[in-house]
Structure 1
Amino acid sequence: MGSLPERMARPLRQDTVSGRLPPGARLPNRDELCQRDDASQVESVQRKRSQ
């Protein structure tokens, strides 16, 4: 299934490659990413700090 950062990055990568996120488009902020991926901000921060 992959780590949380990998799971969060995969859809962004797919949206970029497919053209749904064109160059210069605004990327989702942390709140939007956490909501989309059903993750808490605490979980995302803990994962980042542990790496």
Structure 2
Amino acid sequence: MPQMTPLHWATLFIWAVLLIALLNSLGFFSFIYTNKLVKPLDKSKKNDWEW
């Protein structure tokens, strides 16, 4: 197996960013975010957003 060069690391980083962007566009992270974080804080957040 060849040694990892900076170019290899840059390529892996770009692929990771693309994968995260793809999952984000599919609503994967927002689904986790709304289920795990927003619902417990829903009552306090509503008061903040209502002017």
TM over 0.5: no
The structure showing larger relative contact order (alpha-carbon pairs under 8 Å, at least 6 residues apart) is 1
User: The TM-score by the shorter chain falls in which range?
Assistant: under 0.3
- More helix as a share of residues: 2
- Give the structure-1-normalised TM-score: 0.28
